[in-house]
Amino acid sequence: MGLALLAKPAALWACAVCFGDPNDPITAGFNASVLFLMATPYTVMALIAAGVFCAYRRARTQQAQAEPSETVAPLAWNQEESGR
Amino acid sequence: MAQSSTARKLDDAPPRAVLRRAFGGGDPPRPPVRPNAAFASNAWLAVLMFLGAEAMFFAGLIGAYLVFRVGSQVWPPPFQPRLPTAMTAVNTLILLASAVTMRLGVRANRRGARVLLIRLLSWTAAAGTVFLLIQGYEWLQLLHFGLTVSSSVYGGLFYTIIGCHAAHVCGALIWLAVVWSKARRGRYTKESYVGLQICAMYWTFVVALWPLLYGLVYLY
């Protein structure tokens, strides 16, 4: 079968979404659709990431407003934790 | 049961007053490491993932539409009725206005204005209902002029894409009715309003999708 394909190499170039003429309108339609569907997952993922990032920033801002930052001495904490 | 002698027991810990003296007085400081707090609820994240899946579903429909639209020399096909672009443009504005009232409702809830929230949710539901009614009227007219699902690829694509969106608006309206009912019963507070928030997310998605579909199906 390999020899048969080598004897007729044009058959190897066949593509499931090619319809002969590259200038055919239906080929342009398939190209547009394929490009759109290739771009969509990245767009959706970017929008989800942006939503998560915005929610994270909003939560941090609200938390900072609710609890003013304090200077805490870690050594003092360790001393209390040691129970001496 | 006897306790292990090496284990540190709470009863053996020095009293609080002794600790304060050792520390120098005052309340003991807070732990230096702030506990991790969730920045979003599980429902919010779940709806975000669901909307991603919905976007991919509509992307498939739009991809199918592009194949036929770009691949056709004449669009709409001959002897097929034209779509009512002007009336649908007005309908688009109505749907966009509903998204604005929805966002204002969420803001009103954050301020604790419950009456305003209920009023804005009512306006949102009314705008969504008007949108569906106008679209239903359009469909009746198009069916009357001979555009059916089986009349051509044009009709099939139109009813599939626009019908799927209308079904989503219908589902969002049902969800909105539930949220409205809960808001009337005072289930949402300034601090806890996840149900309202995720309903607003879904409504915003449905509204934001429509101008894209309108531009593609009606104008392109």
Q: Is A84 on the interface with B (CB under 8 A)?
A: yes
Q: CB–CB of B71 and A28 under 8 A? A: yes
Closest residue, chain A, to B50 (C-alpha): A48
Q: Is A61 on the interface with B (CB under 8 A)?
A: no
Q: CB–CB of A29 and B68 under 8 A? A: yes
**The 3-state secondary structure of chain B, one letter per residue:** CCCCCCCCCHHHCCCHHHHHHHHCCCCCCCCCCCCCCCCCCHHHHHHHHHHHHHHHHHHHHHHHHHHHHHCCCCCCCCCCCCCCHHHHHHHHHHHHHHHHHHHHHHHHHHHCCHHHHHHHHHHHHHHHHHHHHHHHHHHHHHHHCCCCCCCCHHHHHHHHHHHHHHHHHHHHHHHHHHHHHHHHCCCCCCCCCHHHHHHHHHHHHHHHHHHHHHHHHHHC
Q: How far apart are CA B131 and CA B90, in angstroms?
A: 9
The pTM for the full model equals: 0.76
Which residue type does B52 have? G
Question: Are B94 and B127 a contacting pair, CB within 8 Å?
Answer: yes
Rg (CA), chain B: 28
What phi and psi, each to the nearest 5 degrees, are found at residue B86? -65, -45
Q: What average pLDDT does this structure show over B40-55?
A: 93
Lowest mean pLDDT among A44-58, B18-32, B174-188, B198-212: B18-32
The per-residue pLDDT for A40 is 93
Looking at this predicted complex, what is its ipTM? 0.71
The per-residue pLDDT for B80 is 85
| Domain ranges, ordered by start, for chain A | 14-63
Chain B residues closer than 8 Å to A59 by CB: 37-40
Closest residue, chain B, to A30 (C-alpha): B67
The answer on pLDDT for B8 being more than 60 is no
Q: How many angstroms away from the CA of B72 is the closest CA of chain A? A: 7
Residue indicated by tokens 């120098």? B24
Mean pLDDT over all residues of chain A? 76
Q: How far apart are CA B97 and CA B116, in angstroms?
A: 16
The answer on pLDDT for A17 being more than 90 is no
pLDDT tens, residue by residue, B66-98? 999 998 888 888 888 889 999 999 999 999 999
List domains and CATH numbers for chain B.
42-50+58-219 (1.20.120.80)
pLDDT tens, residue by residue, A43-78? 999 999 999 999 889 888 887 877 655 555 555 555
